[in-house]
Amino acid sequence: MKLLVYISILFFASGLHAQDYPVRFGELMADGDTVAQRELLNEWWQHDSTDAEYYVACFNFYIQKSMHDIAYISESELRDFNYSKRYTDSAFMIVRKGLALHPDRLDMRFGEIYMYGETVNFEMYTKRLLETVAYSVENNNNWLWTNGEVLENPRELFLKSIQDYQMTIFNSDNDSLRDYALQIADGVLKYYPDHVPSLSNAAVVHIYRKEYDKALEYLLKANALSPEDHVIIMNLAWLYRILGDYENSILYYEMSLEYGDEKANEVAVQAINEMREATNKE
C-alpha cells in the first residue's frame, strides 16, 4: 500500500456530526483554506479530542503548512520545495499523541515514517520503523487503517510495506545510509527470521562493506527459504567468485540459467566461461 504525503481523508459539508468532521476538513484542505481548517480543528478537538481522525487531520494540516516554503532557481523554474521544520515538528508531535491513543493505526505510523524520509531524517525514520516492527508482534499484526478500517491480509501487507521503506534507503544511492538499512533488516529478522527480503538486504549491506563471510551467511539462509529467487542465486554466484570458490560460483551461475532472463543468462554464461578458462590455465 503506497503511502502519500497525506494520510487519507474523506469529503463532506457543514452541519457537523462526529463523522462529518473528516469530510469537511477534506473539503477545506482541497480549497487550501488554512484559516478555516484551523477553526474546524479547534471545534473538532472540543467535540472529541480522542478521535483518531482528528489527529490524522492535524498531521495533514501541519504537513500542508510545512510545504509552503519554496526554493527557486529562477522566477520561472521550480527547483524543489523545502519542509518548514517548525510545522513538521508540530506534525510529528501530534501524530505521536494520536498513536498514544490509537497504537494500532498503521496509517498514522506509516505517514510519520514517510515524512521522516521526506525530511531526510533517517535516524528517526529507522527508529520509528523498528518500533513499528516490534509492535507488530505485540498486536499480532491486527492493524487498522483510515477510519478504523480493518486491513485484509495485514501481516503480508505490513511486511511488504516495510520492505518498500527499506528500499527507499537503498534507492537513495547514499552510502552513508547503509548502516540504517542494516539496522532495519536485522530488526525485521529479529521478529521475522524467515523474511527473505530482509535477509537479502542485510547481505547486500555486508557485500558493500566487503564483509563477505557475513553476506554469505545471510544469502545461504535466504536461498534455502526461497530457492528460485534469481537475485539471491546471482548474488551467491557473484559472492563465491569474489571469494575464489569457482566451483560453487559456477554451480550457482548454472542454477541461475533456469530462472534468469536473456540478459542475465548472458552474464552468467560469460562468468562461467571466464572461471573455467582461468581454472584450465592453472
- Distance between CA atoms of residues 172 and 125, nearest Å: 14
- Distance between CA atoms of residues 210 and 231, nearest Å: 18
> What pLDDT score does 122 carry?
95
The tally of domains found in the chain comes to 1
3-state secondary structure of 79: strand
| Contact by Cβ (8 Å): 125, 117 | yes
Here the cell at position 220 is: 545461504
Range of the domain at 257: 229-282
> What pLDDT score does 80 carry?
53
For residue 111, being part of any structural domain is answered with no
For residue 189, being part of any structural domain is answered with no
For residue 239, being part of any structural domain is answered with yes
| Contact by Cβ (8 Å): 84, 91 | no
> What pLDDT score does 141 carry?
97
| DSSP per residue, 17-40 | -GGGHHHHHHHHHHHT-HHHHHHH
Using alpha carbons, list the distances in angstroms from residue 223 to 44, 205, 218, 227: 53, 17, 9, 5
| Contact by Cβ (8 Å): 71, 82 | yes
For residue 48, being part of any structural domain is answered with no
pLDDT tens string for the chain (282 positions)? 433 444 443 333 334 455 699 999 999 999 989 999 999 999 999 999 999 999 999 999 999 999 865 554 444 444 356 888 999 999 999 999 999 999 999 999 999 999 999 999 999 999 999 999 999 999 999 999 999 999 999 999 999 999 999 999 988 878 889 999 999 999 999 999 999 999 999 999 999 999 999 999 999 999 999 999 999 999 999 999 999 999 999 999 999 999 988 999 999 999 999 999 888 766
Query: Buried (b) or exposed (e) across 218-233, using 16+ Cβ within 10 A?
Result: bbebbbeebeebbbbb
For residue 133, being part of any structural domain is answered with no
> What pLDDT score does 130 carry?
98
For residue 213, being part of any structural domain is answered with no
Residue-wise pLDDT for 57-74, tens only, equals 999 999 999 986 555 444
> What pLDDT score does 163 carry?
95
**Single pTM value for the model:** 0.85
Query: Residues 160-168: contacts with CB within 8 Å, 24+ apart?
Result: 161/1, 161/3, 161/110, 162/129, 162/132, 162/133, 162/188, 163/197, 163/198, 163/201, 164/2, 165/113, 165/117, 165/125, 165/129, 166/197, 166/198, 166/201, 168/117
Residue in the structure block whose three cell numbers are 510495506: 161
> What pLDDT score does 70 carry?
53
For residue 216, being part of any structural domain is answered with no
For residue 215, being part of any structural domain is answered with no
3-state secondary structure of 6: coil
| Contact by Cβ (8 Å): 146, 54 | no
